Amino acid sequence: METQKYLRAKAMAKYLNIGLSTVWDWSKKGRLTPKKISDRVTLFSVEEADRLINGGLI
């Protein structure tokens, strides 16, 4: 069974080669789905980011 990988916002920005504010903007616009695991920690799915890349949306 494969486990899904998640990254924090800063790491996701680096992974996608975009700015941190863009990660949060895309989150607000529904392009990336945030997964809040605590008051101070929000994660984003690498699989979802890969779909954005492969779908030509970046």
Q: Which residues pair with 7 in a beta bridge?
A: 44
- Alpha-carbon distance 18 to 16, whole Å? 5
HEC readout, the chain: CCCCCEEEHHHHHHHHCCCHHHHHHHHHHCCCCEEECCCCCEEEEHHHHHHHHHCCCC
- Alpha-carbon distance 27 to 3, whole Å? 22
Q: Which residue range(s) make up the domain with 29?
A: 6-54
Structural domain contains residue 1: no
pLDDT band for position 24 (cuts 50, 70, 90): very high
pLDDT band for position 4 (cuts 50, 70, 90): confident
What's the structural domain count of the chain?
A: 1
Structural domain contains residue 43: yes
- Assess whether pLDDT exceeds 70 at residue 57: no
pTM, entire model:
0.86
The pLDDT of residue 3 is: 83
